[in-house]
Amino acid sequence: MNIGRSDIVWNYLATFFKIASSALLLPLILNKMPAETVGIWTVFISITAFSYLLDFGFNPSFARNVTYVFSGVKKLQSNGFESNLSENEISYPLLKGLIIAMRWFYARLAVICLILLSTLGTFYIFTLLKKYNGSHSEVYISWTILCAITSYNLYTLYYDSLLEGRGLIKRLKQINVIGQICYLVCAAILIWMNFGLIAIVSAQLLSVLIIRFFSYRSFYDSEITKKLQVCKASPQKDILNSIFPNAVKMGLTSLGGFMVTKSSLIIGSFYLTLNDIASYGITVQLVSVVSGLGSIYILTFIPKIVDSRVKNNIDFIRLIYKRGIIFLLFTYFACGFMIIVTGPCILEILNSKTQLILSSLIALLLFSSLLETNVSMAGAILVTKNYVPFFRASMLSGLAIVLGLLLYFIFFEKNVLGMILIPFIVTLVYQGWKWPYEVLKDLKIIKKNKNG
């Protein structure tokens, strides 16, 4: 499995376009849309992110197990993996069974997603629109399109697992770059023509269709297609039983992670004005770009790290982790400085109807995000052992943040400070140091104590 600098470059570009696509559209959005509409748009983004929690950790688990198959594993296990491999010979019956299991899982997940979005999601949007002065019909049309996009994207999510698990990082990221460029061009044209929220979701629909088309063509080359056609698939039930335990733990971790990173905006939308939510949401999007870019180095090498785990090559994993931390710190320092210093000035030049939050709050948000991203990177390293030790802590942290936010808004001031401060404090108490420390011990960067 060859992953090198070109994969990093393309992953950097793809992540930049994926996370920064919204930020790249900001000049047009802020110029063409009132602050209230921008607030609705940021809520759309959070709800879409919430919908992917239905995946419940199966996507990274599927990708990891695809890597095991392409590394020569002949049988999947719920914990750990085979270490006695036959020169990376691929078990096509196992691969075929894994693909069938993924299709079965995501088809049912997409239906559940569509039902939840069209019922509970629509009720939530209806509640928000009570204090919205813009066009309600525009919001409902956009919401309908978004529900369809999200459900279809969830159904075809296994293509990402297939390409990533096979080590086709460069190809996957090239496809994502193409899709995101199409999204940006289409959205920019439609926003300029004053189609508002409908412009954004219509461009998303086009992007998803393009990405999935090229993903299918890239994985199912002539060799894979021919060998999958002539083999008999391994039992779907056995595969799901092997993946299910750790996938559920990853799902609980993802749910906890969502509560850590996204609950502030959703809960805050009930207490703050849409203008305040717009300012906070725009700032969070910019910080999310920094977070995504900062974690690129390690995430690019995850398939190779999984392969190295199977082959017990700890030295390689240690090297990648050290480089990843340096890359993370440099990215946050450089990009964070640019946001704080130049962000407000750029918005003034654009005559934006929505402003960023105060510089002191941006700095706190950046530091909080750095802490969370470091935890996420540590978790990505630990889970390559096919073991998930942090799911309980993640859930407890998420619940503590939700409770803390509610108490803050009820008993203290209704402001943006609480939306940043509560997640930061809760993460710092335990997860902020625990899992990075465990990685340092696991990779023997620091020595374990006699009891550890």
pLDDT tens digit string along 54-107? 776 677 778 878 888 887 777 776 665 555 555 557 888 888 888 888 899 899
pLDDT at res. 79: 61
The residue assigned the tokens 């990274």 is 60
Handedness of CA 439, 444, 445, 450 (dihedral sign): positive
Q: What is the C-alpha separation between 263 and 279, in angstroms, rounded? A: 16
pLDDT at res. 2: 57
Would the pLDDT of 114 be above 50? yes
Average pLDDT over residues 357-364: 90
pLDDT tens digit string along 273-293? 777 888 888 888 888 888 888
pLDDT tens digit string along 416-447? 888 899 989 999 999 899 999 999 998 988 87
- Please give the span between the terminal C-alpha atoms of the chain, in angstroms, as a whole number: 33
Average pLDDT over residues 234-261: 72
**Please, where are the H alpha helices in 194-273?**
196-219, 222-230, 236-261, 263-271
Would the pLDDT of 399 be above 50? yes
Q: Percent of the chain having pLDDT more than 90?
A: 20
pLDDT at res. 370: 94
Domain residue spans of the chain: 5-442
The tokens describing 328, both together, are 């993370």
Average pLDDT over residues 318-334: 93
